[in-house]
Amino acid sequence: MSHNPHAKEGLTRRDFIRVGTTGTAGIALAGMGALSASAAEPLGRLPRRRYGRTGLEISALVGAADWSADVIPLAVKAGVNYWHKGHRWTAETMPEAIKSQPRESYYLEITVDRVGGDHMHGRIDEEQHYQFVKQAVARSGAGYYDVFKFHFGYHSLNEAKTNLGVIRAYDRLKKEGLVKHLAISQHHYNNIGGDMAYDIVTHLIDHSPYEAAQFFYTYGDKKELDDVLALAKKQDFGTIAMKTMGGVGRAATDKRMQTMLAEPRYQGSTPATAMVKWLMSNPNLTAAVIATKSFDQLQENVTAARLGTMSSSDRHALGLLAAYNQGTTCLLCADCVSQCPEHIAIADILRYERYALDYHELSRARMEYNTLTKNGSACIACGDCMPACQADINIIAKLKDVHRLLG
Ligand code: SF4
Ligand code: SF4
């Protein structure tokens, strides 16, 4: 990991207040507790890493178009140069902080979904993917997207090997100069008789024009994910971790957890800081995307990413988070879903729970939950899924709780 030589240009809390007084950040400030304009704490600049075969040097923490409009200018100043779901911006809505820079200095990604249904039921359609990107480029005013990302990915190894619709759409767009690189965001599909993300990505690393992949990866995850990361590094394939912060948001509002974190052995760390450092200390991982809503979160994440190395307090904090998560927070491993005779998308349902409890995005969680063709109320309490859960979650009770929360 190479540190950016412009660290002295880092962002300060004063910058945030300046944005707040001239923009819309007042709302965000109201929720951040006491801030002082004299407390100018340097945020510094993020390190950058090579995004595999794309050759792009991207920030170790990547941004997302759904981040708060108040945070984005500050993230840019902190060195965030890669924007997940960047196609959501039009020429009018793209933040000035991004579009005012030279086009080659930042990277925009377009995520391309299946058509004719959601990610489980939709289909791959070369022409519609091609038209979707073409129209988005025209709306964006950006000229091109740096990365075409097949969103949610293939259902199975067989589909990845035989259905070339996405690749053909990408090839056509690339020839026209509308996209530059091909990546995938891969989920597990064992709930519909398909394959696990790590099996599909392993295949893509060796056998396809894909240059990079994004997938779920968090502390305590399965060995298969570490194997994918090691192979990706060896084959110069870019990797972005997502859904990394399981349990962090709920722990932050849990009084008992906060009391424990005040003990001396955790001093100087938090579960969020420790998780970011843990991710950054993996030399095989290119970057991580972490939901960021406020200056404080941005500061905590950027500072941790710059330090990278874990302290003993960080190790204790991660251990505490892992213990806290056991029995309560789904790791999204999807090991349980292929056991369910009712074909309930347990991991998707618990991902939506995470949106509500960890990201505090209740309406988004409810909206996603209510698009499911089969939700938690379809559980017949047979218990077949429970032995598969390494996180010891009482899935029957959990589905009831989530249905009460989101249904
Ligand atoms: S307990 Fe519910 S979720 Fe688990 S396998 Fe049975 S029906 Fe599916
Ligand atoms: S409930 Fe357990 S087995 Fe199922 S996805 Fe979550 S952690 Fe994995």
Alpha-carbon gap, residue 187 to 358, rounded angstroms:
20
Q: Say what the alpha-carbon torsion angle 121, 127, 128, 134 is, to the nearest 10 degrees.
A: 150
Residue 371 in this model has a pLDDT that exceeds 50: yes
Q: What is the mean pLDDT of residues 233-242?
A: 97
- How many C-beta atoms lie closer than 10 Å to residue 261's C-beta? 21
Q: How far is the CA of 291 from the centre of ligand 1 (A)?
A: 30
Atom of ligand 1 at shortest range from CA of 346: 3
**Which ligand does the CA of 403 lie closest to?**
1
Please give the average per-residue pLDDT across 58-75, as a whole number: 94
Per residue in 338-364, pLDDT (tens digit) is: 999 999 999 999 999 999 999 889 999
* CATH tag, 46-325: 3.20.20.100
Distance 326 CA to ligand 1 centre (A): 19
For ligand 1, atom 4: residue with the closest CA: 385
Return the best residue to mutate from 222, 329, 336 for the ligand 2 pocket (most ligand atoms within 8 A of CB): 336
Residue 46 near residue 59 (C-beta atoms within 8 A): yes
Is this structure's pTM higher than 0.95? no
Q: How far is CA 134 from the centre of its chain?
A: 25
**Residue 43, pLDDT score:** 66
Give the helix/strand (H/E) hosting 15.
helix 13-22
Residue 103 pLDDT exceeds 90 = yes
Least confident of 14-18, 77-81, 119-123: 14-18
Q: Name the residue ranges covered by the structural domains of the chain.
A: 46-325, 337-406
Q: Which ligand is nearest to the CA of 337?
A: 2
Res. 153: pLDDT tops 60: yes
List residues near ligand 2 (CB under 6 A): 330-336, 346-347, 350, 388-389, 391, 393, 395
Among 331, 358, 395, which is best to mutate for testing ligand 2, by the most ligand atoms less than 8 A from CB?
Answer: 331
Residue nearest to atom 7 of ligand 1 (CA): 379
